[in-house]
Structure 1
Amino acid sequence: MVILSASGLSFAYEGGEDVVSDVDFTVGKSETICVLGPNGAGKSTLLRLLGGLLVPRTGTVQLGDRPIARYNAKARAQEIALVPQALFSLPDLSVRDFVSQGRYAYRTLFRPESEADREAVRRALDEADLRDLGARALDSLSGGQRQRALVARALAQEPRLVLVDEPTNSLDPRHQVQVFKVIAGLGCAGRAAVIVTHDLNLASQFASRVVLMDAGRVVASGSVHDVLRPEVLHPVYGEHLAFGSRFVSGWGEDRPYVLSWQQP
């Protein structure tokens, strides 16, 4: 079952050249897709196009059975959650109240917070390992804790699709794995995730499919075995990668593992 599909997407910021060019993209039920590529490849812009936050110069994005442009903000938020790289300003809220903002799509003037809302927030705090920090002020958290709060807010929305932009930048290794595990776990509930990341090894560990971008275009798409190969990655990154493999229990198979990067 296809949750979202995009065809022929191109986009340019005002006065500039295309930063996304003729991209086709499909997200199926239960998929965890990792989008890889160097800085400036167009990954974050593509994510915003898929989420309906940017209007493509050409092409269409279909969410379910209708164009994403036909959804109002609340209806779209019940289907898609977008996790940005960071908070650029910190609202004066507790962690719990910040995460509960993810429930706004289900509330109306005459329907305040319900028990279902409270349970969704509790579950999201637990999954992001923030249960003991719910009463803390958001601005008292470390950078990594704030990133987990962003993920928790998206989980509280209970969307069918989560779009995540570089979720592990401020996280220690334990929480990097934890956040990926939580996001990838959406597939067990029949939902899906698209994750922009620079970490090839986390992508190898958790992705059901990998998309490689360069200069605004998709240059490779497929399984980790198809894409995470020296001959595929070297033309994009310009570096020689030494690969090994390791057993990933969640997939029941050996998967590629980057051992080192070397300048040519």
Structure 2
Amino acid sequence: MKGISVSSLTAGYGGRTILRDISGVLPAGAVTFILGPNGSGKSTLLRTLGGALPFRGRIRFSERDAASLSPRERGRMVGVVTQSPSLNFPFTVGEVITMGRLPHRSFLERDEGGKKAVSRACKEMELEELRDRTLPSLSGGERQRTMIAQVIAQEPEIFLLDEPSSALDPNHALKLFRFLERMAAEGKTVAASAHDINLAAEFGSFVWIMKEGRLAAAGKTGDVLKGDVLSSVYGSTFVPYRREWTDFSGTPPACNGGEKILWRAV
């Protein structure tokens, strides 16, 4: 089975256990949002899946045990956008995006698709005019777009994104999630954490909801985003409201059109 499966996953750092006995599937061909209150384990989960933290239990990527992957194999398979990357080095935007091709390079093997992948990533995140700018000269949103573009250039099977739109303006956030929808339609596995429940309602096919380091609910978005589930996790009362979801042309997108049930806390 493609996608990510975890069994009895337990992880943490600094001697503190954050994730506790998590089992579930992040399916291929779908955008899965990881929701939950502050401190619920969303970032720790993504860091663990991305290989940054030790863990107990099992992680499998498309039927391959994560522990069996070499760094290069993992780099070709899994792309990670962290929440607070260190971007103080004076690399240019173009150089940072090109670093996404490192897993595809070796002394004996040419990266034939590298230039095309980098150009595509620049175009997707609208960075063509910033390619020669250095990272310290960028705004927060431009830096975030650069790191997303690096992962796009990497061309992974799996995208793991921690709060990927936190610094983006509405236009670039929309472009990002449209891109992620296209990746899912091509069979990629996409998992993104978010605080905004309605991002999941509009763009997510599946949802995982975390609470106190455990998986509180998981499944199709419409089945999981219910008032009673949200209230039990967040400790507030949630009420639904409906609206017709369209793009700027007034036409509902084929993959996500029609009436949407959104939520607000009261």
Structure-2 separation of matches of 1:139 and 1:183: 27
> Is 1:240 equivalent to 2:237 in the alignment?
yes
Residue of structure 2 in register with 1:155 after alignment: 152
Residue of structure 2 in register with 1:106 after alignment: 104
Equivalent residue in structure 2 for 1:255, among 237, 256, 260 = 260
Give, in angstroms, the shift of residue 220 of structure 1. 0.9
Which segments of 5 or more consecutive residues in structure 2 lack a partner in the other structure? 246-251
Residue of structure 2 in register with 1:140 after alignment: 137
- Residues 179-234 of structure 1 deviation map (CA, whole Å, 9 limit, x = unaligned): 22222321122212100111111111111101111001111112222222211101
Give, in angstroms, the shift of residue 254 of structure 1. 2.0
CA contact (8 A) 1:220 1:227 kept: yes
Q: TM-score, normalised by structure 2?
A: 0.91
Structure-1 separation of matches of 2:104 and 2:174: 30
CA contact (8 A) 2:11 2:20 kept: yes
Residue of structure 2 in register with 1:90 after alignment: 88
Following superposition, which runs of at least 4 residues in structure 1 exceed 6 angstroms of deviation? none
Residue of structure 2 in register with 1:13 after alignment: 13
Tell me the secondary structure at the aligned position of residue 254 of structure 1. strand
Residue of structure 2 in register with 1:63 after alignment: 61
Tell me which amino acid in the other structure corresponds to 1:252: G
Give, in angstroms, the shift of residue 135 of structure 1. 1.8
Task: Provide the aligned C-alpha RMSD in A.
Answer: 1.6
Give, in angstroms, the shift of residue 133 of structure 1. 1.4
Equivalent residue in structure 1 for 2:177, among 175, 180, 191 = 180
Residue of structure 2 in register with 1:201 after alignment: 198
Structure-2 separation of matches of 1:245 and 1:109: 56
Residue of structure 2 in register with 1:228 after alignment: 225
Q: TM-score, normalised by structure 1?
A: 0.92
Structure-2 separation of matches of 1:110 and 1:224: 45
Residue of structure 2 in register with 1:48 after alignment: 47
Structure-2 separation of matches of 1:163 and 1:151: 10
Tell me the secondary structure at the aligned position of residue 168 of structure 1. coil
- Residues 80-134 of structure 1 deviation map (CA, whole Å, 9 limit, x = unaligned): 001001322322111111100000001123556x451010000011111212211
CA contact (8 A) 2:87 2:136 kept: no
Q: Percent identity?
A: 34
Tell me which amino acid in the other structure corresponds to 1:203: A
> Is 1:166 equivalent to 2:163 in the alignment?
yes
Aligned residues between the structures: 258
Structure-2 separation of matches of 1:89 and 1:147: 10
Give, in angstroms, the shift of residue 14 of structure 1. 3.3
Give, in angstroms, the shift of residue 15 of structure 1. 2.8
Structure-2 separation of matches of 1:137 and 1:226: 45
CA contact (8 A) 1:224 1:256 kept: no
Structure-2 separation of matches of 1:247 and 1:199: 19
Tell me which amino acid in the other structure corresponds to 1:12: G
Tell me which amino acid in the other structure corresponds to 2:119: R
Equivalent residue in structure 2 for 1:75, among 73, 76, 87 = 73
